[in-house]
Each structure stands twice: as C-alpha cells, then as structure tokens.
Chain A
C-alpha cells in the first residue's frame, strides 16, 4: 500500500512538473502533506452554504491531521477570474480542488481538462466524462420533507412562508418536498413562495421574510444561504426552519430545524482517497440513508410528539419504507399528477418545474 502511494505520488509529481513547468511548491516527496483546496462563491462566514462547506473543510483537517494541508478562496466572483484562481491553486500544488457554486462549472471543467493529474470536484455540478472530474450533491428533499413536517405542526395560521432563491428544479423539488411534509401532518397548511433570485443576499432574504410575515405567515422557511430570514422571524416572533446550516444555537427562540448536509464526511472520504491513490471519478448523490443529508437538532418550538413523529418518518425513509414523492400527488390546480402506487422518478425530480398542491406561488417562465 505504502509503495503504491509512493509510486502514485512520484508519477503524479512528474506529470505535474511536465504540465506546469514553473510549479515550485510541489508535493514531491511522500513526507509532505496532500494539498486540497476549496473555492467558495460567498464569504466563509455567511452563516449558510459557504460556512457549511468550510466546516466540511475543517472536518477534513481534523480527521486527516498532518496528512493534509487545506486552503480556500472565498468571495470568488463567477466570471473570467475563476480560471485564474484555479491556475493559482494548481500552481500552489493542490491535488484536489472542490468548487461549491454551480457558476464555477465551466471554468472547473476547462481546468480539469488542462490539469489531468489534479482532481476536480464540483458541488451541484453536471456530470462529464472527463476522468479527473466528479460531481457531488445530495437528496436535500428528504430532510426538507422532515423540516416541512415540523413547520406543518407548528403553524397556527396554516400559512408558511418560503424564501426561495432561484426557480430551478432543485429549489422547486425542495419546496414540493417541504409542502408535502407540512401537509402530511396538517392538510390545511399552504406554503407561500417569494423568489429573491439570489443564493446569498441577506438584505433581500430578510425583506422577503418580512413581507411573508406581513402576509400572514407564522413560520418562515429559508431556501437561501444566509440566516437573515431568521432575524426577520426573531423580530416578528414567528418560527423558522433554516437551510444547509445549523443555526439553532444562534436563534434558540425561533428555531425549528433545518435540512442540512454532511459535507465533512464526503470531503474526508475523497481527500483520503487521493492520498491513498484510490480516488475514482463519480457523481455522488447522497441521501438520508447514508447520512449525507439529515436534519439539524430540534429547537424548543418542536414539541415531543412532533419530534417522535418526525423521527419515526426519518427511520422509515432510511429503511426504505417511505418514499416522499409517492403518489397520489396533486398539482396546484388540484388535479392528480402522480397516481397512487407511482412516484416521481429521479429523472423527473432533476428537472421538475411544477408545484404540488398547497404551494401558493408560481414558477416564472
């Protein structure tokens, strides 16, 4: 095993030297740690998406210790600059690069072709045949469904407000799952959707949450990356389900739960594979069963009965006994879209552009 690693590293370093002649800080010998890098679109302290990924990076450091040296670039704008950032990271000797915004895709793929001995992994990305290219993401809809249950139980006005980033299949899928979850415990509940056309824009997110509260919502759901809707919820004294980051400690009074991802385990696995020389390309779509997606610890607004209900449902999903998209499902008009005994298959989930019954909002053209 050790010999294999040595050979891999030697071959790798020779390839690097050939591909990139002025690379000085190369990890040439077996003693030096593997360099891994992350490219973030937002700041590491956004309290959401980027914070979650950066916590994943820290988990890698904690797990692999001196075997790894990590770095990151934050606030990287989507544009011609990305290519330069990647070039720079490769020059610094990074052997695996993770990019966590969809908009980095083109530059990442071009770099993967340019630097065949560096592994490129793109979160929420699009599969491609390039051998050193992987994508990773997870079934956030399963945990979102569970968060929706908590919201459905907690609402008194039966109106839940959803601060939605972009009208894309991923978000539509999550809103549908959230609504199905809410209505599974409270058939009267409706989910009102406001689009903000941004992943991370605290001012807009807060504004949208405030307008939802004044429209009658007594639970706010976040679909974007910042905890700003939580601030609006706190100010209005209504409940809040977050997204992609556990903010329970910061918002104890309003917190219900949140759909979150365990990036750390995935990152650790991938980096370890590069160190071991066993890295293989793949398009990972994690789920609640393998622990990649889950829900954050409950807040005090979720009562014990509801907790038990959700935990039971979670166990069913993990056991494969429950499919959140199983029919019958009606669309917004009330017409049956998915018949009993059928389900929304994976392909349709990935391109879904219609809302289920109970969603109050529309998908722009």
Chain B
C-alpha cells in the first residue's frame, strides 16, 4: 500500500532538487512521447532550445511571448497570496488594453512618449477598478470571487468585441481597411513603447517594467505592513480580525492590486506589441488563464514568476516552431501539458512524501 503523508517540515535542499528532477522526468517522458509519435527526441529538444532561447532573436521572441504572461502571472500570485482566487486576470487584462488604448489614441499625437506613463496609469486603473467590482462583492457581500471574476472575464471580452465589431466607438477604425473588416484604430506612433536593444537581443519595455514591478511586489509582500497583514489574513482571517486588521479593506486592496497588475499587462500589450485594441486576438490569447498556471508554478513568489513566465513564453514559442504536418498542434500541447504536469507533480512531492506501509508477517515480533 502506498500513501501520501504531509511533510512536517520542508528541507531546504528539496527546494532545488525537486524542480530539477521534475524537469528531468518531464524530458524523459516527453522523449518517449516524441518517439512514439515517430519523431526524433534529440532533434526536437535541440529545436526547442534553438527556437526559444539559443539565439538573440529566438530569445527576443520568447521575451515578447513572456511579457503578457509575466503580468498575468504576477496578478494571480498577488491575489492567491492572500487566498483570494482572482481568476479574472484575463478580463482585467482586456480592460487594461481598452483604457490604455483609449489614452494612447487620445494623447499619443500631442504628448509623444510622455503618453506612456499615462497609458500605464490608465491600464492599471482600468484593471484595478474592474477587479474591484468582484472585490467589493467578496468583501462586503461575501460573494465567491472565483465566480464573479470568471463572469467578469466574459463581460470584458464581450465589451471589447462590442467596441470594435458592433459599435462606432472611439477605438474603432472607420476608414480604409476598417471598412472591409472591423478593426481598431492604430495608436499614434508616439505612444509606441520603446524597446531596449542589446545586439540581437531585444528587451521589450513592458518586460523591463514587469520585472521591476515583480521586484516591487516581492518587496511589498516581504517588507511592508501591508504584506504582513496579507500573509496573516491568508493564514487565518479570524486571527487577522482579532489582531485588529481591517480584513475587508485588505481583500479589496489585494484584488484591486491584482487587477491593476493584469491591467498594466494590458497596457504593455497594446503599447508594446499590438498598438490597436484587438478583441479577437485578445480573446484567443488566454493570457489570464496561463497566468494562473504560472503563479502556481512559481509558488506565488513574484521573482520566480519572472523566470517561469520566460520559461512558459519560450515553451509556447518553441511549441509553434515545432508544429507542422508531422508534428500536430495536439502533440505540442500534450508535450507542454506534460512539462506542467511534472512540475506540479514535483510540487506535490515537495509538500508530501510517499510512504509504503508494509505489513509485518504474522508471528514475527519486532
């Protein structure tokens, strides 16, 4: 008989060994899968490395894919830290693109690059206010935030679609190719976020901001009264209330912070990459949901989120590179799923340990 027992303590060395062992196990299992599908595992793996990380260009593409994931990952981690399950990163991200795009369209020409801080502010506010709806419902009416934030995702997606497809909104392009196919107005060039080029490596501005924000989140949770309160509330809301913490306000603050992070991601997405409000592409992206997985893999540590986001960006980037007539998208998805499965499986092993319960044979006294 085999059973799982919760570990009483968590040895430090396990923190290193388990992720490495998980990745090794994932590689081995993945190799079997690739073999069975009739491809060459070594070739496949070298291609993943080559197309995701090996060259400046590949890494740049990976960083582009990682940028939105970094923000949604941070958003999820920030909320989950307090046991607030904000599943609404996707919707908050979308609202962030809507508000940031509006700001960029409005002042991009007149202000030039000075509009960028305004876009950031608009994205953060948009995402934060959108999330705050669920926050108020949770804190004062005790409504389950998983459901409300999920529902708000659909509302946000439909709102963005409506702005471009069903209304003559400010965001919509109503001339030229916009007459043939509904699409957003391109933001003025002035509002394009600059990238940092280091040789062939291009670091998107959004990624740099996101990394700084990640450090900020870490410091917020580690070094401030606010972070202390969050950790106590997540542990025991009763103890927090007993100690005089304003738990309801904190719930609202955390969910708004989480939404603000996702909204900032939306601003980065529109300022750095898309330059238009693109509901079709956003709804197809699933950034918000990927962020939840990233936060879980990073064990809610904001700094770790940066690395996991880059890893995931590379994985999806390499995944599309692998795909082709002999390597269907389904196989790529299975391979990616396997990596996640092993990583989370390792997480279980870190918290629990396997015990084999042996039956002592009859008549033997030990």
The reply to whether A84 and B281 contact each other, CB–CB distance below 8 Å, is: no
For residue B363, CB closer than 8 A to chain A, the reply is no
Query: Would you call B110 an interface residue if the criterion is a C-beta within 8 Å of the partner chain's C-beta atoms?
Result: no
Q: Which of A71-79, A208-216, A308-316 contacts B (4 or more CB under 8 A)?
A: A71-79
A166 with B281: in contact, given A80-B274, A197-B166, A365-B166 (CB under 8 Å)? no
- Complex contact A43–B329 (CB within 8 A): yes
Verify A77–B317 contact, CB threshold 8 A.
no
Give the number of chain B interface residues (Cβ < 8 Å): 35
Interface centre among A83, A166, A167, A353 (most CB of B within 10 A): A166
Interface string of B32-75 (1 = CB under 8 A from A): 00000000000000000001000101000100110000000000
A-B interface pairs (CB < 8 A), number = 91
Least CB separation from A82: chain B residue: B281
Residues from chain B with Cβ under 8 Å of A283 in the complex: none
Cβ distance A60 to chain B, nearest Cβ, rounded Å: 12
Q: Say yes or no: is B177 at the interface (Cβ < 8 Å to chain A).
A: yes
Q: Tell me, yes or no, whether B192 is within 8 Å of chain A by CB.
A: no
With a cutoff of 8 Å between Cβ atoms, the chain A residues found around residue B278 in the complex are 78-79, 103
Beyond A84-B65, A85-B320, whether A75 also contacts B329 by CB under 8 A is: yes
Interface string of A317-340 (1 = CB under 8 A from B): 000000000000000000000000
B179-187, B210-218, B302-310 - the one binding chain A? B179-187
B273 part of interface (Cβ distance < 8 Å) = yes
| A351 proximal to B (CB < 8 A) | yes
Bound form: Cα–Cα A51–B309 in Å: 33
A273 on the B face (CB < 8 A) = no
Closest to A40 in B: B329
- Complex interface bits, B157-201 against A, C-beta within 8 A gives 1, otherwise 0: 000010001111000000001011110000000000000000000
- Measured CB to CB, the nearest residue on chain A to B172 is A365
Mark out the residues of chain B between 260 and 286 whose CB falls within 8 Å of any chain A CB in the assembled complex: 269, 272-274, 278, 280-282, 284-285
Please indicate the chain A residues that have their CB under 8 angstroms from the CB of B317 in the complex. 81, 84
* Residue of chain B at shortest CB distance from A84: B61
Q: Which residues of B contact A197 (CB under 8 A)?
A: 161, 165-166
Contact A70 B180 (CB under 8 A): no
- Once the chains bind, are A102 and B167 in contact (CB under 8 Å)? no
- Interface membership of B361, Cβ < 8 A: no
Would you call A360 an interface residue if the criterion is a C-beta within 8 Å of the partner chain's C-beta atoms? no
Task: Classify chain A: how many residues form its interface, as a range.
Answer: 35 or more
Contact of A77 among B51, B182, B284 (CB under 8 A): B284
Q: Tell me which of A78, A169, A365 contacts B281 (CB under 8 A).
A: A78
Contact B281 A103 (CB under 8 A): yes
A303 within 8 A of B: no
Nearest CB of chain A from residue B143's CB, rounded to whole Å = 27
Q: Which residue of B lies closest to A170 (CB)?
A: B180
A78 near B280: Cβ-Cβ < 8 Å:
yes
Residue B324 at the chain A interface, CB threshold 8 Å: yes
Q: How far is the CA of A85 from the CA of B177 in the complex (A)?
A: 24
Q: How far is the CB of A81 from chain B (nearest CB, A)?
A: 6
Is residue A364 contacting chain B, with contact meaning CB distance below 8 A?
yes
Q: What residues of A have a CB within 8 angstroms of the CB of B224 in the complex?
A: none
CB distance from A184 to the nearest CB of B (A): 27
Interface 0/1 of A79-96, CB less than 8 Å to B: 111011101100000000
Tell me the bound Cα distance from A76 to B332 in angstroms. 13
User: Within the assembled complex, what's the spacing in Å between the Cα atoms of A85 and B316?
Assistant: 11
A74 x B323 contact (CB < 8 A): yes
**B356–chain A nearest beta-carbon distance, Å:** 43
Q: A70-B325, A167-B166 are in contact. Are A351 and B179 (CB under 8 A)?
A: yes
Closest to A352 in B: B179
Interchain CB contact under 8 A, B324 and A73: yes
Q: Is the CB of B180 within 8 A of A103?
A: no
B321 CB within 8 Å of chain A: yes
List chain A residues, Cβ under 8 A from B167: 364-365
Q: Are B64 and A84 in contact (CB under 8 A)?
A: yes
Shortest CB distance A106–B (Å): 8
A81 touching B320 by the CB < 8 A rule? yes
A351/B180 in contact, CB under 8 A: yes
When distances are taken between beta carbons in the complex, the residues of chain A under 8 Å from B323 are 73-74
B180 touches A168 (CB 8 A): yes
Decide: B321 and A72 in contact? CB cutoff 8 A: no
Report 28 cross-chain contacts, Cβ distance below 8 Å, ordered by A residue: A22-B55, A73-B324, A74-B323, A74-B329, A76-B320, A77-B285, A78-B278, A78-B281, A78-B284, A79-B273, A79-B281, A81-B64, A81-B65, A81-B316, A84-B65, A85-B320, A85-B321, A88-B51, A88-B320, A103-B280, A166-B165, A167-B165, A167-B166, A169-B179, A197-B166, A351-B180, A364-B165, A364-B167
Known: A83-B64, A84-B64, A166-B182. 9 other contacts (CB 8 A): A72-B324, A73-B323, A73-B324, A74-B329, A79-B273, A87-B57, A87-B61, A124-B181, A364-B167
